[in-house]
Amino acid sequence: MREINGGITAVKGITASGIHCGIKKDGRKDLALIVSEVDASAAGVFTENHVKAAPVLLSQKNIKRGRARAIIINSGNANACTGKIGYKHAEEMADFTAQSIGVSSNNILVASTGVIGVPLPINKIKKGIPLLVKKLSASGGLKAVEAIMTTDTTPKVSAVEYKCGGKSIRIGGIAKGSGMIYPRLATMLSFITTDIAISHGLLKIALKESVNRSFNMITVDNDTSTNDTVIILANGLAGNKPITYKRSKEFNLFLEALIYVSTALAKMVVKDGEGATKFVEINVNGAVNFEDAKRIAFSIANSNLVKTALFGEDPNWGRIICAAGNSGVRFNLGKIGFLIGKQKILEDGNLVKRDWESKVKGILKQREITIVLNLKMGNAKASVWTTDLSHDYVSINSSYRS
Amino acid sequence: MREINGGITAVKGITASGIHCGIKKDGRKDLALIVSEVDASAAGVFTENHVKAAPVLLSQKNIKRGRARAIIINSGNANACTGKIGYKHAEEMADFTAQSIGVSSNNILVASTGVIGVPLPINKIKKGIPLLVKKLSASGGLKAVEAIMTTDTTPKVSAVEYKCGGKSIRIGGIAKGSGMIYPRLATMLSFITTDIAISHGLLKIALKESVNRSFNMITVDNDTSTNDTVIILANGLAGNKPITYKRSKEFNLFLEALIYVSTALAKMVVKDGEGATKFVEINVNGAVNFEDAKRIAFSIANSNLVKTALFGEDPNWGRIICAAGNSGVRFNLGKIGFLIGKQKILEDGNLVKRDWESKVKGILKQREITIVLNLKMGNAKASVWTTDLSHDYVSINSSYRS
C-alpha cells in the first residue's frame, strides 16, 4: 500500500468540482459535487444526534437502495432545525443535481455544513448547480474539499493505492470539521471513493468498522453535530474480482487501506481543531475491555480542565486522573500506572519520588503530546485523539454567526 | 421564614474560625474549623467520582456513626491522588483537631479543596490547628468561609430562621466552588449547620432531597471533582420537639428552609463560576419525566458551543437545539416550543417569521439569561443553572498550578 495524490478523484471514474455559489459572504467556495461515471455501491454512517439535519434524513432515505451516482454538498449553512422547509430544500438540491447530470433523484446523496437554524438560500444553490456540473473534472478533488470547509484552516485529503489479485485498487477521501467534533457512531463530513468491486453488504461492514477505528475515536469539544455524515462510493472500475467473503484476504486488505485513509483524515480533523495548539493522543491500556478503555480515554479527552491545562502547558496531571474517575468505569487507584510522554508520574498508584515536574513541563511544550494510563486489570486498550482548549476556541465560537 | 445574617455561626451552639496556616502562597486564609458545642446529628453527601480524595474517604467512614462534633477543612490542596500518604494525612488532621478540642477522632469530619496530586503540607496544618481552635467564636462564620475559598471571588453564605412549634429554628450554610463544578449526587464543598432537633434518618433524607434540588442542578464545566462534599450538622439546641415523622408539617417546613439555603448557595457557586460573565437558567418543560427534562437541560448547560455563544452574545440558538438532541432523550422536533428570555424562536418546531434576531441580541446582552424549551410531551420539568465559557475560564485554568 502506498499513499498517492489526488484524493477522491484519484479513483477511476470519479469526477468532482467545487464553486462559490453565494452562501458564504466572503467569496470562499461553498458548493461541491462528487460524481461516479457509473452507478456505485454506496454506504453511509450518520450522526447519532437525535436532532438530525434535513440532508441527513434525505441521504439516509436514498442510501437504502445501496447504490448512488453523486453527492452534492454545501457549506456555510447546515440546513438543520429549520422545520419542514429544510427538508424541501434538501429534496430540491437532490432534484436539481439529478436533472443536471441526467439521473433520477434517488441516486443523489446530500450533505450540508455550517450554521444551524437559518433557512438555506436555496435559489443560490439552484443557480450554482449547472456551473458545478460543467466544472466536473478528474482533477477536481481539491476544489471539492475546499468547498466543504467552514472553520477548517486546512483541506483534509488522503488517498492510497494497493494491489489485489493483479489489479490496482484506489481509495480516496476528503473530510471537513474542526468544531462540534465528538462523533458518536458517525462523524463530521467525510466522503470516500474507491474503485474496488465489493458487495454492498461488505462495503457497509468495512465502512462501519473503519469509522469505529478512526472518526469515532476523536473529540474536539464533546459536541456531536446535527449533520455528521460519512459516505463511501465504490464503483468497481478497478476491475478486480468482486469481494464477497468477509474472511477473505482481499477484504482484510481493503479494510486495512480504508482504516488507513479514515484515520489519516480523522487525525487531520483533530489537528485542525478549532483553536487547537496541541494534538493529544490518550492511550488507556490494561483495561478489562475496549469499551471501558474508550470511556476513560474520552472522559479525559472531553474534560475542559484537562484541555485548558494542556493549553497552558501546566503539569496539573491530577485533573487527568480526576477525569478518568468521572468516566463511570471502576479501577483500582492504588494500582495504576500513569505517564505523560515518556515520564512516569504514578507507579502502582503512588507518586514517583524523583523530580518529574521539570521533565513534564518540557514534554508539555511540544505540539504533540501522549498520555498513557495503565489500569493493570486486563489486556484491552483504546487510543483517542484530541486537542487542547485555547483562547482561540472561545474567540472562534463566541462569534460564529457574525 | 426570613433571611438572617451570620451564616453557619448564626446557629445556636456553633462556633467557627479561619486562619492562614501556610498552604496558600499568597497569605490568604487556608484552614477552617466548625465546631458544635454539643454532639450533633450529622449527614453528608459526597462525590460520585470514582477517584475520591482521602478526606472524602475518611469523612465517609466517620459519618457512619451519624453524629459529629467538628469539621476541619483546608483549601489550597485537595489531598487527592497522592496514594497511601494522603489518607494518613487526612487521619492526622482529624487526630490533631480531636486532641485540640478534647473529643475522640471519629467525631471529626475532614474536607480539602485545591490542587490535586500534590502531597499535603501536613506540618503546616498541624502547627495551625491550636491557633485555629483558640480563634473559635460565635462570629467566626465569615472567617471560616474565607478559608475554604480557592478560585472563588466571593464568599458564599446563606442563613434563614423560621418558627416551628413556638421555637425559633435556624439553618446556616457556607459553600465554595467555581470550577470543576458538575456535581453528581453530591457537590463541591458546602457545610450547613442547624439547631433543629431531628432524627438522624430524617436529617439524611432532608439533606439528600435538598441537594438533589439545588447543588445537583448546577454545572460550570462538566467536571465532577474528587472532593465534593456537603455536610450538615444538626445540634438540637433550638429546643423544638424532635422531628421524627417524615409526613409531618414540621419536617416539610425544615425541608423547605433547607432547600432555600442550599439553592441560594448553589446559585452563588454558579454566579461565581470561573470566568463567568453570564448566569443562565435553562428550563426544560413538557417532558415525560423529571430525569428526561434534567438530561436535556444538562446537555445544553454542558455544551461548550452553547456556552461560548452565550459569552459572545451571539444568537446562535441552533447550538442549543443541537445540544438537546445530544442528550439521548427522544422528542419530536416538529412540535417543540423554544424561547430565549421572553422571545419565541420556535413554535411547533418552525422558526417564527417575525424579526426575533434583534430582540434576542438585546436579551443576550443581559447578565442573567433564561432559556425555555417546551417538549410538549408531558408535565415534568427541570431547571438547571449554569454559566457561559469565557476567555477568563481558559486563563484561570491554563495556569492553575503556577
A143-179: per-residue pLDDT in tens?
999 999 988 888 989 999 999 888 999 999 998 877 6
pLDDT 10s digits, B318-345 = 889 989 988 889 999 889 999 999 999 9
Q: Which of B221, B351, B400 sits opposite A82 (nearest CB)?
A: B351
How far CA B399 is from CA of A302, B129, B148, B359, in Å, comes to 19, 30, 20, 38
**Mean pLDDT on A228-232:** 84
pLDDT 10s digits, A79-119 = 988 888 999 999 999 999 999 999 999 999 999 998 888 89
Helix H or strand E encompassing B31: strand B31-46
Between A122 and A267, whose confidence is greater? A122
Give yes or no for residue B184 having a pLDDT over 50.
no
Task: Collect all residues of chain A within an 8 Å Cβ-Cβ radius of residue B83.
Answer: 334, 346, 349-351
pLDDT band at B185; cut points 50, 70, 90: very low
Closest alpha carbon within chain A to B394: A308
CB contact under 8 A, B81 and A394: no
Burial tier of B167 (Cβ tally within 10 Å: 0-12, 13-18, 19+):
middle
Across chain B, mean pLDDT equals: 90
pLDDT band at B182; cut points 50, 70, 90: low
Task: Collect all residues of chain B within an 8 Å Cβ-Cβ radius of residue A222.
Answer: 222, 302-304
Distance CA A216, CA A270 (A): 12
Give yes or no for residue A338 having a pLDDT over 50.
yes
Give yes or no for residue B162 having a pLDDT over 70.
yes
ipTM of the complex: 0.75
- Amino acid identity for residue B53 in this structure: A
CB contact under 8 A, A323 and B223: yes
Give yes or no for residue A353 having a pLDDT over 70.
yes
pLDDT 10s digits, B68-94 = 999 999 999 999 888 889 999 999 999
**Mean pLDDT on B121-128:** 97
Q: Which of B304, B330, B396 is the best substitution to test chain A (most A C-beta atoms within 10 A)? A: B304
- Amino acid identity for residue A364 in this structure: L
Give yes or no for residue A184 having a pLDDT over 70.
no
Distance CA B33, CA B21 (A): 12
Which of B66-75, B156-165, B215-224 has the least mean pLDDT? B215-224
Closest alpha carbon within chain A to B338: A81
For chain B, what is the total number of helices (H) and then of strands (E)?
11, 16
- Amino acid identity for residue B212 in this structure: N
List all residues of chain B from 324 to 363 with a beta carbon under 8 Å from chain A.
324-331, 333-334, 346, 349-351
The DSSP symbol for A138 reads: T
The DSSP symbol for A369 reads: E
Predicted local distance difference test score (pLDDT) of residue B180: 63
- Relative orientation angle of helices B391-398 and A391-398, to the nearest 10 degrees: 170
Give yes or no for residue B273 having a pLDDT over 70.
yes
Q: Which of A179, A225, A349 sits opposite B83 (nearest CB)?
A: A349
Closest alpha carbon within chain A to B317: A117
Q: Which of A188, A300, A326, A389 is the best substitution to test chain B (most B C-beta atoms within 10 A)? A: A326
B249-267 b/e (C-beta count within 10 Å ≥ 16 → b) = ebbebbbebbbbbbbbbbb
List all residues of chain B from 44 to 63 with a beta carbon under 8 Å from chain A.
49-52
Alpha-helical regions (H) of B45-192: 54-62, 84-101, 122-134, 141-146
C-alpha cell at A186: 458517525
Which of A238-252, A346-360, B21-35, B183-197 has the least mean pLDDT? B183-197
Give yes or no for residue B125 having a pLDDT over 60.
yes
Predicted local distance difference test score (pLDDT) of residue A191: 87
Give yes or no for residue B135 having a pLDDT over 60.
yes
Q: Which of A224, A325, A395 sits opposite B51 (nearest CB)?
A: A325
Of A155, A153, A8, A24, give the one whose Cα is nearest residue A71.
Answer: A8
List all residues of chain A from 101 to 120 with a beta carbon under 8 Å from chain B.
115-119
Task: Collect all residues of chain B within an 8 Å Cβ-Cβ radius of residue A80.
Answer: 318, 322
Predicted local distance difference test score (pLDDT) of residue A99: 97
Give pTM, 2 decimals.
Answer: 0.79
**Mean pLDDT on B84-111:** 96
Distance CA A227, CA B376 (A): 25
- Amino acid identity for residue B323 in this structure: A
Predicted local distance difference test score (pLDDT) of residue A401: 57
The neighbouring-strand residues paired with A113 are A75, A77
Percent of chain B residues topping a pLDDT of 90:
67
C-alpha cell at B91: 487521619
Across chain A, mean pLDDT equals: 90
B285 to chain A, closest Cα gap in Å: 18
Give yes or no for residue A313 having a pLDDT over 80.
yes
CB contact under 8 A, A116 and B401: no
For chain A, what is the total number of helices (H) and then of strands (E)?
11, 16
The domains of chain A, with CATH numbers, are 2-271 (3.60.70.12), 279-398 (3.10.20.340)
Of B202, B198, B192, B190, give the one whose Cα is nearest residue B237.
Answer: B198
